Every structure is written in structure tokens, then in C-alpha cells.
Amino acid sequence: MESSLLTCKKKISKKCHVPRIGTSLSHFEPKKRLIVGTKPNIPDLNLELPSDSEEEEKDASDDVPKLLNELEVEIFARVSCFEYWKLQFLNKQFSQLLKSGEIFKVKRERELVKPYVLMLTSGNSRWTMVDKSFKNFRRLPEVPSDICFLYCDKETISAGTQLIVVGKEVESIVVWRYELELHKWTKGPSMITPRVMYGSASHGTDAFFAGGIKFVEKGIPKVCTEAEKYNANTKTWTMICEMHKRRKFCSGCFLRGKIYVIGGRYENGKNLTCGESYDEVKNSWTLIPNMLKDITFKSSQSPPLIAVVNDNLYLLETSSNELRVYDVNENAWKRQGVVPVKANEASGWGVAFKSIGDRLLVIGASPLPRSFIKRMAVYTCRPSPYVEEQVWEETENCYDGVELSNFIHNCCVMFA
């Protein structure tokens, strides 16, 4: 890569010394004599400043640094994120370029982003980031929080190149964010209405949070309807329209241009079968009655395990380990066979069910005999709403001797 970059630089440098088309030699030659001549080029302070048209006729060599910088960004935008951490130790200029965020901006503009899975497994205090093939991995730094945050339940989502983790410290509910460009954790900014056990969904550099449990006077928990949006570019929160129903332990997704919040429980612990969709243009929620009417619930049920692939919504029914696809027009779920993990073993807890590009991803306890239960199982499939039973493929993971538990506390997919 280094040799190809140098070759490109030489070619650009040679081209930049050729006068522009349409520029006369009378304009070009005096500049050449100033460069080659032995007399110093002392400016005459009595002369008038050049006009805008004269500025445009300056030697193209003045643009070389800008051209080289743009070329470097274009090249690095096509390199895997796992190579960035190696390159930043070789070149200080690249390290500065990485921290500027320009590389990731170009990745998004050129549609060169790739999915990366970030997960926190049982028994680990540090997050693990793996690529789509599960062949490359990297450990993130430890979150510099207190012990309460470390051991309490947390929720997570990605927005752009930021990993947002929400949990409770000793004093209050806090937000920690990991920034991929900087490879470090930063605290805040806090939510406008701090809450936990909410439904969330992301789209590009925006993340949406709705419902959950907030703490009012004297620390009394209350199920809420409030919703807000986080923007990764500005690192700010904005309140949006409230939902129709109070709900906690719900799930969210981005589907066909709208944010969906599904299921959850009411204040009295009763399971909700309705959903709601949010239209950002209208800033309004639409109630969807009986969205989960055919789904079996348990008292200790996890939030609904849902994922979107190719504008189709899929659900892992944890009581039966079945995959289902949602028919938006009929407001009904179609069965699509059994998923090869033990999602029913802990009522959906400890299982990751996500979309990763054009595939569904499920991570959990292996379906193999009892003696292999500690082994993490990773399966993917290319789902189709028109197929009765999906074909799942097991992904062989390689962590160079690093052992990860099969119980997933948190998991999300970042596109970077």
C-alpha cells in the first residue's frame, strides 16, 4: 500500500508542474524565472493585491498538498478498520487524519462502510469488536466508570462510528460513548430524560430512544412515554414526540423509513402486544394494535429479539426458537423454521439477534450436546420472506486463544 501511495504522489506531483489549459506562457514564464533565478523574490509593498481572476491563474503546484491529502483519504477509505490501528503507529500524519473523521465521512459518502459486531460477553469487562467474517477481532479499552456501572445491566446501540452505552452508576444514569476514530471512551452528554430498559433504533448517525424506566422524586421508578434522538455528529440530544403507550423492556428498529418500537411491558408488568411507528418528518407516532398477538410471552421474557434485512422485519420467537417474518400489510407473522441456538433456555436473555448487511446473525449457546454448552455458536443466513425454512450457516470464529462466553450481555452492529 505504501509503495502504491508513493507512486500516486509522484504522478500527481509531475502533473502539477504543467501549466493549466487556457493559461498563457506569459503568465507561466515569469513564475518560472522567479523559481529558477538567483535573486530573492522580494515583494513590492506598493503593488496592488492580485484580483480574484489572477488568483485563479496561480501555479497548480500550490494545490499539491490538498490533492495528496484527498488521495490518501480515498485510499484509506477502502481499507478495513482493523488495519487502521496498525497504520496509526507507523505514521503520525495518518493518525491525525484518522482522528479528524474525514476517512469515515468519505466511507459513508462512497458507500464503502462495512459492518462490525461489537459485543460484551459474560465474565468480560471489555468489549470485543469483530469483523463480518468473525476472523479478525480487537478488544476495546475498559470503560473508565465505577463498579456499579460495570456490573449492572447496560444497553447499547451504535450511531455512526460511536458506540453508545447507557447504564447506572452509583449516583445516576449515565451515557458512555466509544469513538472509533479516537479509540477511547468519553462520558456524556447525558440524555434529556435519563432512562433504562428502553427501545432503541439507529439510522446512519442518528439513534432514537423511546420509553423505558425513568427515576422521579426520591428515586421512584416510573415507566415513561418520552422519546428522544441522539446525533453523533453534533453529540447532542433532541426531544421528539411522545409515544401513545408507556412501555419498558421494548425493542426498536428502523424499517422502511420509520422507527418502530415493539412490545415491552406496561407499568403493572403486563406484556404489550401493540407496537408504534414514528414518522420523523411529521414528528408523530402511529399505534399498531395487536402487532405481537401471535407471540408467546413468559413472565421473565427478554425484550423482543428483532432484526431488519432488506426492508423485512424478522423476529426470533424465544419460546420455540422459531424465526418469523412480519407482513406489514397483514399485520401478521409467518413462520420460517427453527433457529440453531438455545434462545429458549433463558427466555431470550443472553442471545444476540442482529442484521449484518444482507444477513441475519444469531449468537448464543450451541445446540450441541450438554458437554459443549459453554461454546459460543455463531450462525448467519440470507433470509427471504418467501422461503418456508431458512438455511443457517455456522461461522467458524477465531480469537487467537481469547475465550468468549456464549452468554451475550450486549451486542450491536456498527457500520464503519
Tell me how crowded residue 162 is: count the other CB atoms within 10 A of its CB: 24
- Element spanning 100, H or E: helix 92-100
Residue 66 sits at φ, ψ, to 5 deg, of: -65, -40
Three-class SS state of 158? strand
d(CA 164, CA 143): 12
CA end-to-end span of the chain, whole Å? 20
d(CA 234, CA 160): 11
Domain that holds residue 109: 64-113
CATH number where 178 lies: 2.120.10.80
Tell me if 10 is assigned to some domain: no
Q: Are residues 226 and 304 in the same domain?
A: no
Q: Are residues 339 and 381 in the same domain?
A: yes
Tell me if 47 is assigned to some domain: no
Tell me if 133 is assigned to some domain: no
Q: Are residues 249 and 151 in the same domain?
A: yes
Domain count, the chain: 3
Q: Are residues 149 and 279 in the same domain?
A: yes
Three-class SS state of 197? coil
Tell me if 202 is assigned to some domain: yes
CATH number where 346 lies: 2.40.10
Tell me if 24 is assigned to some domain: no
Q: Are residues 280 and 302 in the same domain?
A: no
Tell me how crowded residue 129 is: count the other CB atoms within 10 A of its CB: 20
Tell me if 352 is assigned to some domain: yes
Q: Are residues 323 and 350 in the same domain?
A: yes
Final residue before a domain boundary, out of 293, 320, 345: 293
Q: Is the peptide bond prior to 189 cis by the omega test (within 30 degrees of 0)? A: yes
Contact 190, 174 (CB under 8 A): yes
Q: Are residues 105 and 173 in the same domain?
A: no
Final residue before a domain boundary, out of 250, 274, 293: 293
Tell me if 235 is assigned to some domain: yes
Per residue of the chain (416 residues), give pLDDT as tens. Answer: 444 444 444 444 444 443 333 333 333 334 333 333 444 444 443 444 444 444 444 444 455 456 567 888 898 899 888 888 777 777 778 888 888 889 999 999 999 999 999 999 998 899 999 998 888 889 999 999 999 999 999 999 999 999 999 999 998 999 999 999 999 999 999 999 999 999 999 999 999 999 999 999 888 999 999 999 999 999 999 999 999 999 999 999 999 999 999 999 998 888 999 999 999 999 999 999 999 988 888 878 899 999 999 999 999 999 899 999 999 999 999 999 999 998 988 899 999 999 999 999 999 887 766 544 467 889 999 999 999 999 999 987 655 555 678 899 999 999 99
d(CA 397, CA 415): 20
